């Protein structure tokens, strides 16, 4: 009987030690390093994440994600996601982070482990340039039909104002809806609006008028992920040595950059 008790005690100690030793398996950092790649969830969103002529992902967020992955000693992989499913994609480990000009809303910060804010932003109204004078305040928007990315801060602002909204795949699609005349207006991020509409862009006949809010961007990881703390350190180091500002200037978002 004593031998049996000793054997059971020994097994229990082994299991206990194994559990303690397996704690590192809960580390997102170790998980990413073991698989050798940081999988980044994005949408097509110039100037943050978009493809160049060689079909390669570039942009302020894309370039910073590449640099962060390099600092971890891993490769980077970009995966286009349905924005409405971003938390599910994270929790299912089809992606490791959401890095796509993501607004730090209460919903986001409660469901993800988020980095420090790194860019200021706002949701702005996009309309045909020849009608811009008609839509210079919130009261003037009540009869418009809007397009906005499903699950986005833009859609949330429209819902809060009780305005008619058609959810679409991404912000680029929202712009196309207005250009095609299938929606009267769209709500998108101000940083995207500055890059995508007006003179010298692919949407010269569109413009942005009023801002509906002010907000900040952050990067989202799985809840309790240790990668968020690692990214905060990377942001601080990159801001200090000037590489973050250099990247921001490349994509003309330096005015929105938040000191780290």
3-state percent breakdown (helix, strand, coil) of the chain, nearest 5: 45, 25, 25
Highest-confidence range of 2-16, 21-35, 109-123, by mean pLDDT?
109-123
Q: Which residue has the higher pLDDT, 153 or 25?
A: 153
Alpha-carbon span 188 to 175, nearest angstrom: 8
pLDDT band for position 26 (50/70/90)? confident
pLDDT band for position 138 (50/70/90)? very high
Q: Is the predicted pLDDT of residue 9 greater than 80, yes or no?
A: no
Burial zone of 44 (CB within 10 Å; 0-12 exposed, 13-18 middle, 19+ buried): middle
For the segment 56-75, what is each residue's pLDDT rounded down to a tens digit?
A: 999 999 999 999 999 999 99
Q: What is the pLDDT of residue 230?
A: 98
For the segment 75-108, what is each residue's pLDDT rounded down to a tens digit?
A: 999 999 999 999 999 999 999 999 999 999 999 9
Q: What is the pLDDT of residue 25?
A: 58
Tell me, what DSSP letter sits at residue 84?
G
pTM over 0.75: yes
For the segment 194-223, what is each residue's pLDDT rounded down to a tens digit?
A: 989 998 999 999 999 999 999 999 999 999
pLDDT band for position 6 (50/70/90)? very low
Indicate the average pLDDT of the chain. Answer: 91
pLDDT band for position 16 (50/70/90)? very low
Alpha-carbon span 172 to 96, nearest angstrom: 24
For the segment 160-200, what is each residue's pLDDT rounded down to a tens digit?
A: 999 999 999 999 999 999 999 999 999 999 999 998 999 89
Q: Do residues 69 and 75 make contact, with C-beta atoms less than 8 angstroms apart?
A: yes
Q: What is the mean pLDDT of residues 147-151?
A: 96
Q: Is the predicted pLDDT of residue 20 greater than 50, yes or no?
A: no
Task: Work out whether the CA dihedral 31, 34, 35, 38 comes out positive or negative.
Answer: positive
Kindly list the structural domains of the chain, giving each domain's residue range(s) and its CATH number in brackets, ordered by start.
21-120+216-256 (3.40.190.10), 123-213 (3.40.190.10)
Q: Is the predicted pLDDT of residue 157 greater than 90, yes or no?
A: yes
Q: Is the predicted pLDDT of residue 3 greater than 90, yes or no?
A: no
């Amino acid at each position: 009987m004593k031998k049996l008790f000793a054997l059971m005690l020994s097994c229990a100690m082994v299991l206990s030690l194994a559990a303690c030793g397996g704690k590192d398996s809960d580390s997102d950092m170790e998980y990413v390093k073991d698989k050798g790649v940081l999988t980044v969830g994005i949408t097509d969103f110039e100037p943050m994440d978009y493809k160049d002529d060689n079909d390669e992902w570039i942009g302020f967020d894309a370039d910073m994600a590449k640099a962060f992955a390099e600092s971890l000693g891993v490769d980077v992989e970009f995966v286009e996601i349905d924005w409405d499913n971003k938390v599910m994609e994270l929790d299912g480990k089809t992606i490791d982070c959401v890095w796509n000009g993501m607004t730090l809303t209460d919903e986001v910060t409660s469901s993800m482990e988020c980095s420090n804010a790194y860019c200021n932003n706002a949701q702005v109204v996009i309309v045909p340039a020849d009608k811009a004078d008609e839509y210079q305040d919130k009261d003037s928007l009540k009869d418009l039909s809007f397009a906005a990315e499903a699950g986005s801060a833009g859609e949330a602002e429209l819902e809060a104002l009780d305005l008619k909204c058609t959810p679409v795949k991404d912000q680029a699609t929202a712009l196309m809806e207005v250009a095609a005349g299938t929606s009267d207006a769209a709500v998108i991020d101000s940083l995207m609006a500055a890059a995508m509409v007006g003179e010298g862009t692919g949407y010269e006949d569109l413009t942005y008028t009023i801002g509906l809010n002010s907000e900040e961007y952050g990067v989202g990881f799985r809840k309790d992920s240790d990668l968020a703390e690692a990214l905060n350190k990377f942001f601080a180091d990159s801001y200090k040595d000037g590489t973050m500002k250099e990247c921001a200037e490349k994509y003309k978002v330096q005015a929105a950059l938040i000191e780290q």
